[in-house]
Amino acid sequence: MSLWVDKYRPTSLAKLDYHKDQANQLRNLVQCGDFPHLLVYGPSGAGKKTRIMCVLRELYGAGVEKLRIEHQSVTAPSKKKIEINTIASNYHLEVNPGDAGNSDRVVIQELIKTVAQSQQIQSSTQREFKVVLLTEVDRLTKDAQHALRRTMEKYMATCRLVLCCNSTSKVIAPIRSRCLAVRVPLPSVEEVCSVLTGVCRKEGLLLPPELAKQIAEKSGRNLRRALLMCEACRVQQYPFSADQDIPETDWEVYLRETANAIVSQQSPQRLMEVRTRLYELLTHCIPPEIIIKGLVTELLGNCDGHLKAEVAQMAAYYEHRLQLGSKAIYHLEAFVAKFMAIYKKFMEDGLDNFMF
């Protein structure tokens, strides 16, 4: 039994549930024969990957769905061996170069070279190029992105790249200009609701529209999350009731409790407790950026107008530090400490004003 997310994932461009205009355009693109490099971007859970897989299927037929997981090892010039997992079919290769860390340049070059060097068999009936799908391109180092630029041109004859990322701001301009950029926006609440209802119908369940709306809103229009939430609701209680609690993930609850702990008391001891909690989140693989973002969202709810601006600015400052620094805990903790100091002062001032 697979998850609903995977089970009801549309497999062809025609079956996509939303952004149908875009789907049509993509189909035309495939049919006109010359296929450019693609840069697909958009927020998480909008269906970028689904769309890409549909395009590939349009290109090559059902053969792309026969996936195999491969462990490749690439030797860097410094004799360092890099192990990387790839997912491949006969026609395409999917890599997350972020796995390779700082050696991503070597990995990308090697993998693309290997793919591009082998010609497609029976090129008369098939496309004469293969596709390399790179996910999380925005996490590539600058070094690797520049290397990619050259590689893209060099192997244009036998290989097309599909790049997938959340935001193009971290992709260098030369790459952006070499690709056809396709933005996949988030589905609207209504679209999410219709997808949820559709999936439930296929499962033989009845989803009250109120609940669907609630889920769609709570998921932030992230369709993957919405479907997972919906399935969790199903596990929690069936038949659905319109006002049932939508299960949250443990880490979100935990993060909220942490934020409450910060707001309820400001002292060095509390800071130590918060640190322990931050560590706990980190051991559960919640990335520091997500933690700081979650904290800010929760904390802002507790702040007054002018404090909000200050807190947001602080958060931006430390998030920046987080990106540049090497040890996340320093910056997370500095943010928490700073917030505590500001908030304490704010509360004390407020108390004074209240007294007089």
Partner 1 sequence: IMSQLFLGGKASSGKLNSWVEPSFGDLFGSSGLNSLPLAKAPLSGGNKSRAQPSGVDVGGKKPRKRKGALQAAKPVFPPRRQDSQEPQDEPWVQVYAPQLQAELAVHKKKVEEVEKWLRVHLDLNHGGAVLLLTGPSGCGKTATVHVLARDLGCQIQEWSNPVTTSEYRTDDSFRQTFDPDSRFNSFHWTSQTGAFQEFLLRANKYDRLPMRGDGQAQDRKLILVEDFPNQFYRQPGCLHDTLRRFARTGRRPLVFVVSDSLSGDSSSRLLFPKEVQEELGIRTISSPSHGASWYATLSASCEMTRCCRAVVVVFSDPEKAVLEQLCAGSSGDIRSAINSLQFSSFAEHSLEKGAWASKKGKSAASAARVPARPKGGNRSTRSAEVLDDSPAIGGKDTSLFLFRALGKILYCKREAYEGCEVPKLPSHLSVHQRDRMIVDPEVITHKQTCRSHMSGEFFSLYLHQNYPDFFSDMDDVARASEYLSDADFLTAEWSSRPTMSEYGSSVATRGLIYSNSARAQATSQSHVGFKPLHKPHWLHINKTYRENYLAAQSLFISFCLTPVSLMTELVPYLAQLSNPMRNQAQIAFIQDVGHLSLRRFPGRLKLEALGDKEPGGLDLDGESDDAGTQTTGQGTRTLPSSSQEPGADFPSSQPQPTTADALLDEEDILIEEYDSD
Name which of residues 27 to 46 contact partner 1 (CB under 8 A).
44-45
CB of 302 to partner 1, least distance (A): 16
Instruction: Considering only the stretches 105-113, 122-130, 197-205, 331-339, report the one whose residues sit in contact with partner 1 under the rule CB under 8 A.
Output: 331-339
Q: Where are the beta strands (DSSP E) in 106-171?
A: 130-135, 159-165
Distance CA 75, CA 310 (A): 48
Toward partner 1, which CB reaches closer, 33 or 204? 204
Distance CA 305, CA 49 (A): 39
Produce one character per residue of 273-306: b if its CB has 16 or more CB atoms within 10 Å, e if not: ebeebbeebeeeebebeebbebbbebbeebbeee
DSSP for 221-240, written as a single string: T-HHHHHHHHHHHHHH-SS-
288-327: which residues touch partner 1 (CB under 8 A)? 290, 318, 321, 324-327
Number of residues that bind partner 1 (CB under 8 A): 76
CB of 324 to partner 1, least distance (A): 6
Q: Which residues contact 123 (CB under 8 A, 6 or more apart)?
A: none
Q: Which of 11, 63, 90, 99 binds partner 1 (CB under 8 A)?
A: 99
Question: By rule CB under 8 A, what string of x and - marks binding of each residue 189-218 to partner 1?
Answer: ------------------------------
Toward partner 1, which CB reaches closer, 172 or 232? 232
Q: Which of 51, 57, 130, 277 binds partner 1 (CB under 8 A)?
A: 277
Tokens 């006002």 identify what position?
A: 243
The answer to whether 223 and 255 are in contact (CB under 8 A) is no
CA distances from 209 to 16, 133, 212, 213 (A): 21, 37, 5, 6
Distance CA 178, CA 172 (A): 10
If binding is defined by CB under 8 A, does position 169 make contact with partner 1?
no
If binding is defined by CB under 8 A, does position 280 make contact with partner 1?
yes
CB of 119 to partner 1, least distance (A): 27
CB of 73 to partner 1, least distance (A): 14
CB of 203 to partner 1, least distance (A): 13
Residues, the chain: 356
If binding is defined by CB under 8 A, does position 345 make contact with partner 1?
yes
The answer to whether 279 and 247 are in contact (CB under 8 A) is no
CA nearest to 349, candidates 309, 298, 341 = 341
Instruction: Considering only the stretches 27-35, 192-200, 223-231, 304-312, report the one whose residues sit in contact with partner 1 under the rule CB under 8 A.
Output: 223-231
Structure tokens at 79: 């004799």
CB of 160 to partner 1, least distance (A): 19
**Bridge partners for 81 per DSSP:** 75
DSSP symbol at 79:
S
If binding is defined by CB under 8 A, does position 8 make contact with partner 1?
no
If binding is defined by CB under 8 A, does position 334 make contact with partner 1?
yes
Question: By rule CB under 8 A, what string of x and - marks binding of each residue 234-263 to partner 1?
Answer: -xx----------x-xxxxxx--x------
Q: Which of 78, 124, 169, 264 binds partner 1 (CB under 8 A)?
A: 78
Structure tokens at 225: 């999350």
Toward partner 1, which CB reaches closer, 110 or 231? 231
